[in-house]
Structure 1
């Protein structure tokens, strides 16, 4: 099978395999054998928190116990992840959040990075070809970070605690340090050579000889602790208009970068209208463009609504998933981009359009040559305009789904000197040359080309499911383009197959993103199902992991069931 794949397709498969392993390694010091350390309900029944790291989950629970809401809990967890999960998380990145407030209002909060004003469509083209290294590492890879602006807004809208209340405990962890896990050591090792190119980053992650710190080393980040404390005292203006922004500007001037203090000051967080769709009597609230997640989770669920999932054989169910995914990702490549710059058809989530696509699915033979479709009103009706996920809920009806990312591990590998803040490499999420795959093998069109002030397309898919006005599920994932398909399968498993949260997350996953023409499956997928997919025309690529999902579920809004990715809990072990 692999001999027939193109070079870039093979590279993609390696990237996604590494991505899944990286996602499975997002933790550090607590007992990895105990699922309750990752996803927990508060002892007093106030709510629940699910993250990828036990220290972050504990920070969220502490916020609840101190009188905070689920919004406070999620932000507390996010700040802690920026310390203990620094290859994926931090304030140098961006995020998307879907929040269901206690008054039943639902908001989509866009803290996605923006391209600097000096960014240009062909800024990564050298000698007529895209130089992808420039969009992945160093100064030109960095977009204006938006996570902190989003967290500040969330707290003002639905929190009870202050920014300072939530930053200072995370600052203490950064200053005192925490034991580095074996898997975190491996992540540093995999990025060692590029980390060495940036002395402030190497000073944190490598020892004096340039080697990765060993497992068990207490990782101390005093500069990051100081940055957190300055923000706690001065507010986010310290970051966007104060000394941090000045430090970014100076570093960029010294390293041929284009991000300026003005770019930092002019960052704009946006409130988007959530993508709302209906699935078997449930309301699904996802994130709109510039995320592709909400659109395509809705689109695929709309396709699945044409079938009785519960009565399909296991083989037919996975085949249906793979075929539906392929159709949606073909549309993703054609239509999706920042709605402030391009026109994204709302017809992509129309049930009538999904019905058309569903009719094309042949259960006997895969449709290998599929291309993008023609959604209704595509010319007149448009959307207004490495990763980790946090789910939180409380007894008052506040439910949160936040997905945040630096993009690839350790982002651009740049730490701004004296700040301890790792910066994103989110510029690679643009189509740096339309038709050329990015780090995750995703192909984009002109709709996702680089433009000043534009936000790159994302697969992040924070999602909240509501039944009769009451939130019942918060879910999201990490893992590049597999985020979309992980969230989709989690929702399907819970709603169609009646699974518990942990069962839904444990069930083997498949992923098809149209290009390359392979279906990626977990090795745990039963052999007869794999054979059935192959007999019907799917080329399979097997791997051990397919990303990381967190979720919370409740049937009454008062009692909660929370789960974090079981593949991590099975694979990681405590480092004393």
Structure 2
């Protein structure tokens, strides 16, 4: 079977088949290594966002200016996933200095959001408050990131880089199926708020696929941001409307909390894996520490040569242990003492590896050791490499489908519902089955734990940017993508790889349709694993067809000096990638 056929079928084949079609081949050692890419590559969740990034590159911008354009345009065209009312985590590589930077634009907890506010009369978690409306929303961070990215890293003014998003918000774009279906799914909540109804309904009718979706109020908010920078959102007209809208809906924000928001620059997590330098997200992301744990557990194994069942067994056991540590130890590093040096060390990974039986599953309840103490698919990610070698991996979100559902009147800004990512009641799972304790409890100004994991991989001859939405599954999707690159797959084949996931609790392997072959499933069950295989009734599944994620990745091959981009074929909007663009 030719490689091209294997890539087209990658979504339908077990991971072993996809890997087997594209073995790693060594480039001739005499071939020179390029010092700069031949152009630019962008992969995002929507073609309009990718085109916005290219527009800014052609105007003389760099990858960081393009990131402002892509991020802000995604905020316009993917309101189901992200927006100015949310936040994100962004990994940057400056080619001139060789420095890697991490920008934390995660939302923060308002002072009013104490844990007792999220409990019902019986003392149970009130999911209505944690997932819908004003109490579910944290103070947004994305607008501050756009200002920071342009001002400190870009070469064009913010006003110029925001123009594509402003234009699309004002002129409109066609509603796609996922948007329309998502609104119908959340309509009961979103209709509560006049500011939301004005945006998503016309003459009392909800948006429908094919409608021209215009957002003049959001365009005005973006214009104020473009003109006045930080003060255009966090102070003045927009800030007053945001505070008024939240408080009129029954929440409690203050002007001081908005004005006090700060993007945090943090030191990325860096480690080696089989000749790859991996640079990834530190806390408040849980992803980087988990990747370091999982990959260093797996490093001694030649995974592509294992049979499918044993390869999945080893990967799942690594996932299980990393997610157990996530529950106990991880939170906002400004509020929580995180044993990061230990958790990311090879010695620690070696100790965890020693607890894995090669042929038997480890029941998750045997790993607890003490009283133990998911972001959703509606997140989005983009990856960029420019012609100078600058790189950006950005993951941004409003958390659940359409966030809180609340648009403060006159702003066009759909607010997040990230408060659900805190451990609002210790030991109680959130909307995605993930739970936590004191390390991730809400406090004024604290950032909730995230699974967003923008990541760089670099070897002697390749540089990769990779990331995805997908809630608590983000980390395992990035892991599988990285293992795919290490096995020799190209960018598009990596984006299409089938996916499976384990997060310690519940103690079950979750998988996409046909991600695990029937024989491998039986072998895994014989090892003691519990499986949920939707879409594969022969392997014991329920017969559904659920897939997840929207992985976006770009790759620069320095020996052939070629660029390639991979955008997830699960994405119903259409390809948002450009493999080679010369400004």
Identify the TM-score tier after normalising by the shorter chain: 0.7 to 0.9
Stretches of structure 1 lacking an aligned partner (at least 5 in a row): 1-43, 375-385
Report whether the alignment pairs 1:552 with 2:543.
no
Partner of residue 333, structure 1: 327
For 1:381-428, what per-residue CA distance to the aligned partner results, in whole angstroms no more than 9, with x for missing partners?
Answer: xxxxx3100100112121100100000011110111111110111111
Give 2:131's aligned residue: 136
Runs of 4+ in 1 over 3 A off after TM superposition: 369-374, 569-573
Matched residue, 2:405: 413
Aligned pair 1:515/2:516, yes or no?
no
Query: 2:285 pairs with 291, 296, 303, which one?
Result: 291
- Relative distance call for 1:101 and 1:192 in structure 2 (3 A) is same
Aligned position for 1:215? 209
The alignment partner of 1:122 has SS state of helix
Give the distance between the partners of 1:570 and 1:56, measured in 2 at CA. 12
Measured after TM superposition, the shift of residue 331 of structure 1 is 0.8
Tell whether 2:535 aligns with 1:533. Answer: no
Cα separation, partners in 2 of 1:49 and 1:371, compared to 1, 3 Å: farther
Q: Who is 1:65 aligned against?
A: 58
CA distance in 2, matches of 1:572, 1:55: 10
Superposed displacement of residue 570, structure 1? 9.8
Shift of 1:487: 0.4
CA distance in 1, matches of 2:133, 2:141: 19
Equivalents in 2 of 1:173, 1:77: separation in Å?
12
Structural RMSD (CA)? 2.0
Unaligned runs of 5+ in 2: 1-36, 370-377, 535-545, 577-583
SS of match in other structure, 2:383 = strand
Q: Does 1:350 align with 2:353?
A: no
Partner residue in 2 for 1:228: 222
* Matching residue within 68, 79, 88 for 1:86: 79
**Contact in 2 for aligned 1:143/1:259 (Cα 8 Å):** no
Cα drift, residue 373 of structure 1: 7.4
1:54 equivalent in alignment to 2:47: yes
| Distance in 2 between residues matched to 1:373 and 1:137, nearest whole Å | 32
Q: Distance in 2 between matches of 1:143 and 1:570?
A: 28
Match of 2:454 among 458, 462, 466: 462
Which of 148-157 and 286-295 deviates more? 148-157
- Counterpart secondary structure, 2:321: helix
The equivalences for 1:240-251 within 5 A come to 240-251=234-245
> Of 442, 446, 468, which aligns to 1:450?
442
Partner of 1:316: 310
The CA deviation at 1:117 is: 2.3
The aligned counterpart of 1:274 is: 268
1:162 paired residue among 149, 157, 160: 157
Which runs of structure 2 are paired with 1:68-147 in the superposition (5 Å)?
68-102=61-95, 103-127=97-121, 128-147=123-142
- 1:304 and 2:295 equivalent? no
**Corresponding position of 1:392:** 384
For residue 370 of structure 1, report the CA deviation from its aligned partner.
Answer: 4.6
What corresponds to 1:199 in structure 2?
A: 194
Q: What secondary structure, in the 3-state scheme, does the structure 1 residue paired with 2:270 have? A: strand
- After TM superposition, the score normalised by the length of structure 1 is 0.87
Paired positions, count? 517
8 A Cα contact 2:385 2:392, kept in partner: yes
Alignment match of 2:415 (pick from 420, 423, 428): 423
Which deviates more, 448-457 or 503-512?
A: 503-512
**Displacement of 1:529 after TM fit?**
2.2
Tell me the alpha carbon deviations over residues 88-134 of structure 1, each in whole angstroms, 9 at most, x when there is no partner.
11111111011111121001110000111233232212222221210
C-alpha displacement of 1:45: 4.3
Moved more, 96-105 or 555-564: 555-564
CA contact (8 A) 2:364 2:507 kept: no
